[in-house]
Amino acid sequence: MIKVKGLQVAPAELEDHLLDHASVADAAVVGIPDDFAGELPLAFIVLQPGVSSAVQCDPTLANKVRSSIFEVQFIQCFMIPASP
């Protein structure tokens, strides 16, 4: 559970919302410390394979996908480690 300005935010709910986006293959949400809010959610997003390769070649498409998901910072990641 992530505490944002005293409110409880479930990472699983945010992940489900992100996974509804057509360009998102996988997502993981964690809380990071914030001086004002206590914690803020940070999402790690893996794009669908076709979108991922297209985004690497076209910066305009990267900005379009980024703004359609949310305010994010892209880092290259091909999968999110998960327990079996």
Q: Would you say how long the chain is, in residues?
A: 84
Judged on CB neighbours under 10 Å (0-12, 13-18, 19+), 18 is buried
CA-based max dimension of the chain: 41
pLDDT tens across 12-55, in order?
998 998 898 888 999 999 999 989 889 989 888 888 988 888 88
Q: What is the pTM of this model?
A: 0.73
The dotted CATH code for 2-69 is 3.30.300.30
> What is each CA distance from 18 to 15, 27, 35, 51, 84, in whole angstroms?
5, 7, 25, 15, 22
DSSP conformation class of 38: E
